[in-house]
Amino acid sequence: MASKKKKQKTTERSAYGITVLKAADPRIRKLKKEHEPNIHGNKVWNSSWCIMDFLQQQGMPKGSKVLEAGCGWGPTGIYCAKNYAAKVTGLDADAAVFPYLDLHAKINDVKIKNWQGTFEQVKKKDLKGTRLVLGADICFWDEMIDPIYKLVKRSIAADVDQIIIADPGRPPFHKMCDKVISKIGGEVKEWNVDDEVKASAYLLIVGTLL
């Protein structure tokens, strides 16, 4: 039994009150035989931890409505649901990520609403009542700069309180940040985590949640 518990532990990572599964976990390996994400939704990206760390320091009103854009396996949305009872929707263009999101929601005992769609398909009316829009590692191509900028613009127009987008520092991300800050406002923070996990990222932060 001891060896079995040890094996289970090595295929999981727990931090910020949530558990995420590594690629070696049998449940992930089983899903990969049936659902293979094709738009970089194949793991939990480190910049997600930086968003969680920022939110832990900032805080969040209980029950906030949250949209995780380009959610992939949904770690930041799950963090919000688990720690702040947030009502979370996970948006992704790739339907193959949702079985992974559902699995992580189940093991963390939360519910996340799935929404298959692109950033361009998110309209102002869809953002009504949303307090926080999150995105981790979502600006990896130049052609994503404009759709993400427009999503931020629509979010502000819909009275979303705060938008946080994290990235390890790819050139498209910094171009997008420059466009957002010059036309809408906001700031970029370099964020490092060296506690429960090790991660570093740049955070584009527009607006204030509290």
What's the CATH code of the domain at 140?
3.40.50.150
Structure confidence by residue, pLDDT tens digits, 92-116: 999 999 999 999 999 999 999 999 9
**And the tokens for 134?**
């999150």
Please check the confidence at residue 167 and state whether its pLDDT lies above 90. yes
pTM of the shown model: 0.91
Q: Is residue 5 part of a domain?
A: no
Tell me the C-alpha to C-alpha distance, in Å, between residue 23 and each of 1, 27, 100, 152: 22, 9, 11, 32
Q: Is residue 25 part of a domain?
A: yes
| Residue 96 neighbours by CB distance under 10 Å | 18
Domain range for 156: 11-207
Q: Is residue 171 part of a domain?
A: yes
Q: At what angle do helices 26-34 and 98-107 cross, to 10 degrees?
A: 160
